[in-house]
Chains A and B, each alone.
Chain A
Amino acid sequence: MGNKKLKKIFTLGIWKDNPIYRQILGICSALAVTNLMLNSLVMGIGLIFVTSFSELTVSLLRKHTPKHIRMMVQVLIISSFVIIVDIVLKAYYPSMSKALGPYVGLIITNCIIMGRCESYAQNNKPLYAFMDGIASGTGYAIILLVIAFFRELLGFGSLFGYQVLGEWFTKWTIMVMAPGAFFMLGIVIWVARSLLPGTEEESMKGEAIS
């Protein structure tokens, strides 16, 4: 029974309820870091870590947190994990820490984490909450990588920094700049929604949270 529930959490988080294209949450940081695949990968891993552990902590404390200050408690829990990510990056990967700049800190205000803590971790057992965090985070990371794949490939002709396309390729500088990110995200949402038609209420719910 447990396995079935876990499996359901994963398909929901990664595919059916994907935070970015389905609920339009957390796109602030989704766009800024996607001009290189490596940046997106690091960002994705950071987000999976923060989401899963914040959900675990929120879920563990859910019976001891007074209702009216729970938002503040959640923000503090999330910030603590973000600080861990920031310090680890600074210590072991300073160049990446510099490249991501303020966007590591902005994981705090990423609506996905807050939304999942509020809607899932608050009412579920720690193990499931942890898994849900991993699933949502992974769903987010996959979209980041898809966007980054096209942006880096078309903008620099490379993938993870390795030159893939040869000399003949004219680089699409626009893909590396801000407009390219918006266009790519729009297209990803378009494709995902056409392939996977869902009800309108779901997307409305997402907008209400953000």
Chain B
Amino acid sequence: MEGLNPFVVFFASIFTNNMILTNFLGMCSFIAVSGEIKTSLGLGQAVTFVLTFTTVLNYFIYHYVLVPLGLEYLRFIIFIISIAAFVQLVEMIVERYLPNLYYALGIFLPLITVNCAILGVSLFMVIRDYNMIVSLLFGLGSGIGWTLAIVALAGIRKRLKYAKVPKGLEGPGITIIITGLMALAFVGFSGIVQIQ
């Protein structure tokens, strides 16, 4: 995919190809952790950070190790291991040198390993055949888009406390419907840029 403008990919991954709202990735923690704006912002930052670096890391692993060795079919296992290892490494480094950041992100880091968005972005990167710069911006943009969506949802859910919700719809049900409405709003962006 030569000549693809990295910035187009960057903006597209925030707005028109938002990880949650159009690709449904990272839903589990999206529903579970969106109770409060502050915690969801913390999780969003952690996801953005990990997403950016693991995408680039997996890019190098895929193109410089797996492809020359002809082991492309092992990419699922390798990607998930590299993500888990990276998360573990970051946790140790942050705990040792940046205690403040550790308290802000610490509890979310282990959760991230099983976040589908991280693996999803790496797989998209391989399938769409992005180059290094595009992968970097794609990871960063996806993280920002994810953060945007989860913070917005947390803000809406805060108001929801005062609303009367039908019995069976309480909790996850109404959260998913709200996500649907947000997705509807994001469809409005789809005219700006488009990647596939």
A11 at the interface (CB under 8 A from B): no
Would you call B31 and A106 a contact (CB within 8 A)?
A: no
**B177, A105: Cβ atoms closer than 8 Å:** no
On chain A, the residues within 8 Å of B186 by CB distance are: 178
Cβ of A179 and Cβ of B123 under 8 Å apart? no
- Give A25's nearest chain B residue, CB to CB: B28
Chain A: which residue is nearest B110 at the CB level? A71
What is the chain B residue whose CB lies nearest that of A189? Answer: B173
Contacts of B184 in A (CB 8 A): 174, 179
Within 8 Å of chain B (Cβ to Cβ): is A94?
no
Whether the pair B168, A191 counts as a contact (CB closer than 8 A) is yes
**B21 on the interface (CB 8 Å rule)?**
yes
A178-B183 contact given A82-B76, A86-B73, A207-B31, CB 8 Å threshold: yes
B29 lies within 8 A of chain A by Cβ = yes
User: Considering the chains assembled together, what is the distance between the CA atoms of A119 and B77 in angstroms?
Assistant: 22
Number of chain B interface residues as a range: 35 or more
Q: Judging by beta carbons under 8 Å apart, are B24 and A179 in contact?
A: no
How many A residues, CB 8 Å from partner?
Answer: 47
Nearest opposing residue in chain A for B184, CB measure: A179
Contact of A72 among B22, B24, B84, B171 (CB under 8 A): B84
The reply to whether A79 and B80 contact each other, CB–CB distance below 8 Å, is yes
The answer to whether B84 touches A75, judged by C-beta atoms less than 8 angstroms apart, is yes
Query: Quick one: given A109-B116, A179-B180, are A28 and B167 in contact (CB under 8 Å)?
Result: no
A106 touches B176 (CB 8 A): no
Distance in Å: Cβ of A114 to nearest Cβ of chain B: 7
C-alpha spacing A133/B56, complex, angstroms: 35
Are B176 and A109 closer than 8 Å at their CB atoms? no
Q: Nearest Cβ in chain A — how far from B86, in angstroms?
A: 14
Which B residues touch A203, using CB under 8 A? 171-172
Complex partner residue of A106 from B32, B119, B166, CB under 8 angstroms? B119
Interface residues of B in 111-155 (CB under 8 A from A): 114-116, 119-120, 123-124, 127
Task: Provide the residues of chain B in CB contact with A210, threshold 8 Å.
Answer: 28-29, 31-32
CA gap between A24 and B29 in the complex, in Å: 11
CB of B179 closer than 8 Å to a CB of A: yes
Q: What are the residues of chain A within 8 A of B181 when measuring CB–CB?
A: 179
Q: In the complex where A28-B28, A105-B123 touch, is A83 in contact with B74 (Cβ < 8 A)?
A: yes
| B44 / chain A contacts, CB cutoff of 8 Å | none
Q: Evaluate whether A182 and B179 lie within 8 angstroms (CB atoms) in the complex, with A31-B27, A102-B120, A106-B25 already known.
A: yes
Known: A179-B181, A179-B183. A194 touches B24 (CB 8 A): no
Can you list 5 pairs linking A and B with CB atoms under 8 Å apart?
A27-B28, A30-B24, A75-B80, A182-B183, A186-B174
